[in-house]
Structure 1
Amino acid sequence: MNRVSADGVIDVAAERRRTLGAALSHHFNSAGAALPSSDVLAAVVDHLRLEELLGGYEAAALVKDATEAAYSACAALVGAQPEEIALFDSASTALRVLLDAVRPAPGTRLVAARSTYVSHALHLMTLVRERGSELVVVPTDDARRVDLGALTDVLADGRPSIVTVAHVPTSSGLDEPVADIGRIARAAGATYLLDATQTVGHLRVDVDEIGCDALVTTGRKFLRGPRGTAFAYIRRSFAERLLPTAPDVRGSRWSSGDDWEVLPGARRFETWEASVAARLGLGRAVTEVLERGIDATAAFLCGLAGTVRARLAEVPGIVPADPADARSGIVTFTVDGVPAADVVRRLAERNVRVVAVPAAHGQWDLGDRGIASVVRASVHVYNDHGDVDALVRAVAEVAKEGVR
């Protein structure tokens, strides 16, 4: 099904018709959990009904081809091969499983961007505390992106290092120079793990261009898939060097009384138990992105977010929190004198859905900037200019009212 016009423009009206929730509120929370399409919902519900009739194992056997197609769709979206894809319940789980499988030895240097999300930051700090790893948070440039010169200097001594970066953070609309980071990491012989939870389905992502050893992303955000779904890309040569710390029957074979073999490819990191219905929904969601076209999607999201960013900047009392050259579909800001959580609540009263991101979710970014919390609005292909008008009008009203 073609989801763009002949000139490559997103058909927003058609996307709204496919998205029941788009008519019920002005939804600007795609970076948290986007609204799914009716076809994604049908993929999930239809399989649950099949399980109701046949049982879980029997239903899974009938849809094996469709489940396998989900791996192919995920691979196509990021420029990988299906055997380099593993499915998970969340990106945080995937990143934890992969980092643990590296088994960082004492003294291994963990090199992290300030854009790192709380869950991964906590894991990194745990490795420092319990395994004797060293943590280096890379300085940023004037736009708060990774300072490439500083990263080069950090890695110059050739010590074993693991570089971890969030492509677009939870706390702002900036985009990290991930391909440049990849070139620096490769030159230094460092392992490169990319958190792309805010970019797959949102911006063009090609793992070969980026040069990462592994990439993780979630289903519920810009992919518009079900909650409880995620996938990881694990470069074939990288996967072959890693063994899961907790082998599972899904990815390993118990070969004798005291020995086992892991399966080839990325699926060695999966577990047997998973929601087949949710995975089918993820496959449908990824297929919709492919049908729509990621370049057209990225152009639309970045363009619409740019409009939101510019219009909010004109509202008295609004302080933008993104870099001036932000190139993403995420917009962050604060309202003078009004806590972000209060802004979110008052916008919800006006049927506008956004979210507050506290410093506790990004201490190396928001905490470092001395910002307690930001309001985050994130667009998707079902948002139209009526939604933007409603958002700007509601924010202006809250800013004018002030604390109440």
Structure 2
Amino acid sequence: MIDLLTLRNDTPGTRHVVHFNNAGASLMPQPVIDAITSHLTLESEIGGYEAAQLRQDATQQFYTSTADLLNTTAEHIAATANATDAYARALSSIPFERGDVILTTVNDYVSNQLAFLSLQKRLGVNIVRAEDSPAGGVSVEDMASKIKALCPRLVAVTHIPTNSGLIQPVEAIGQLCQEADVLYLVDACQSVGQLPLDVNQIHCDFLTATCRKFLRGPRGVGFLYVSDKVLSSQLAPLFVDLRGAVWESADSYQLLPTAQRFEYWEFPHALLQGAAQANRYALSVGLETIARRNSALRENLCSQLNQLPDVRLLDEGERLASIITLFSERKPAADLKSALLAERINTSLSDHGSAILDYDRKGITTAALRISPHYFNTEEEITTLVDTLTRILA
């Protein structure tokens, strides 16, 4: 059961804005804010190195709490600057050769697609995108067929795209990868914090995410999960530093046995401690509870948005998450966003350049308005949003 009063009292931002941009950066709860500011104050008083030493147990909670979110252990978690940073470190650890296949989807995140193209240009790997099913989302059958026929070096899937509420069948694809002994990389940037995640059920070798979105943590910190298979295979990022390896002699080094080999020595202790509190907060509310609440909010909001004139909701798929993309024939999405912001209602844009394959198929050549409710939003805020859009479109 959601205790909305407590949740909103914990969230000072709700007193200033109606926030439907949780897929961009959610509103931080007070325990997260307190953890960050407390450590920054300590750094200002006694010094950065000294504060890190004194609060090392609080920083370590980032690893244990992130592991709890994913049903794993702290040894499999690496702290990164953001999700793209985590993704790049994972990709750089794979010894790609010319002709290797990266099997992905048409709905993978734009930065991931760009990384694949960069590997194609520099190393000569082949990018293959599995077909979508008629209902929307990648076809598991086509994935199975292509894994069997192509023997890919890597399968990479974005759990929930930035431009859609689509939930991809990452568990079913993971089962295929496990059976074929293929490396599997999952981008969980938009799913962590709004859906229960279990890396053992997903069967992924890498999982990346940021802390600023539905987890409600601070900007500037993310994480990377790596499997036992990755660690035992001695995979490591292309550029390791003294955090991830020991310099044994002039010409040799030894990797650390844990996911720490994917880290760099310098990272923001205050943000990690804030992220740890965000993890604990999500776990205390309950990921199943959050998922049910968000599903109800989405259903309520979509039913009202569908009544607006000359509006299309672009999201397709058998399962949909808490991202709604709206296209209006009457006003450009940028104008809608600006008008809503003037009323202290936060949304964001999903432009054509971030989803070329998906938006070309849907006939979208500009941008869509992205609306992303979260469990602390109220039904009254949904009404406010819809009423304001009605006025704007009129």
Same fold (TM over 0.5): yes
- Shift of the alpha carbon at 1:46? 0.5
Structure 1 counterpart SS, 2:370: strand
Is 1:338 aligned to residue 318 of structure 2? no
- Give me the whole-angstrom Cα distance separating, in 1, the residues matched to 2:129 and 2:330: 31
- Shift of the alpha carbon at 1:332? 1.2
Is 1:376 aligned to residue 370 of structure 2? yes
Which of residues 1, 8, 12 in structure 1 aligns to 2:4?
Answer: 12
| Contact 2:325–2:350 (CA under 8 A) maintained in structure 1 | no
Q: Where does residue 257 of structure 2 map in the other structure?
A: 264
Gaps of 5+ in 1: 1-8
- Give me the whole-angstrom Cα distance separating, in 1, the residues matched to 2:378 and 2:119: 45
Q: Where does residue 207 of structure 1 map in the other structure?
A: 199
Deviation digits for residues 30-89 of structure 1, max 9, x if unmatched?
000000011101100100000001101100001111111110100011111110000101
Q: Where does residue 83 of structure 2 map in the other structure?
A: 91
| Contact 1:158–1:189 (CA under 8 A) maintained in structure 2 | no
Q: Where does residue 287 of structure 1 map in the other structure?
A: 280
Which of residues 59, 66, 69 in structure 1 aligns to 2:61?
Answer: 69
Which of residues 378, 387, 390 in structure 1 aligns to 2:381?
Answer: 387
- Give me the whole-angstrom Cα distance separating, in 1, the residues matched to 2:152 and 2:307: 48
Deviation digits for residues 271-296 of structure 1, max 9, x if unmatched?
00111000000000001011111110
Give the counterpart letter for 2:286 in structure 1. Answer: G
Which of residues 95, 105, 109 in structure 2 aligns to 1:103?
Answer: 95
Deviation digits for residues 213-257 of structure 1, max 9, x if unmatched?
110110000010000011111112212320221011111111111
**CA 313–324 in structure 1, closer or farther in 2 if over 3 Å, else same:** farther
User: Equivalent pairs: percent with the same residue?
Assistant: 33
Q: Where does residue 254 of structure 1 map in the other structure?
A: 247
Structure 2 counterpart SS, 1:209: helix
TM-score by length of 1: 0.95
- Shift of the alpha carbon at 1:158? 5.4
Give the counterpart letter for 1:388 in structure 2. Answer: I
Gaps of 5+ in 2: none
Q: Where does residue 366 of structure 1 map in the other structure?
A: 359
Give the counterpart letter for 2:348 in structure 1. Answer: V
Which of residues 219, 222, 236 in structure 2 aligns to 1:243?
Answer: 236
Deviation digits for residues 102-143 of structure 1, max 9, x if unmatched?
121111101111121111111100111110100001110123
Is 1:309 aligned to residue 297 of structure 2? no
Give the counterpart letter for 1:297 in structure 2. Answer: I
Give the counterpart letter for 1:16 in structure 2. Answer: R
Which of residues 17, 23, 45 in structure 2 aligns to 1:31?
Answer: 23
Q: Where does residue 137 of structure 1 map in the other structure?
A: 129
Q: Where does residue 233 of structure 1 map in the other structure?
A: 225
Deviation digits for residues 4-55 of structure 1, max 9, x if unmatched?
xxxxx11111111111111111100000000001110110010000000110
- Give me the whole-angstrom Cα distance separating, in 2, the residues matched to 1:156 and 1:220: 37
| Contact 2:136–2:317 (CA under 8 A) maintained in structure 1 | no
| Contact 2:177–2:184 (CA under 8 A) maintained in structure 1 | yes
| Contact 1:34–1:220 (CA under 8 A) maintained in structure 2 | yes
TM-score by length of 2: 0.97
**CA 337–239 in structure 1, closer or farther in 2 if over 3 Å, else same:** farther
Q: Where does residue 6 of structure 1 map in the other structure?
A: none
Give the stretch that moved more between structures: 167-176 or 99-108: 99-108
| Contact 2:166–2:317 (CA under 8 A) maintained in structure 1 | no
Q: Where does residue 354 of structure 1 map in the other structure?
A: 347
- Give me the whole-angstrom Cα distance separating, in 2, the residues matched to 1:310 and 1:85: 39
- Give me the whole-angstrom Cα distance separating, in 2, the residues matched to 1:333 and 1:73: 35
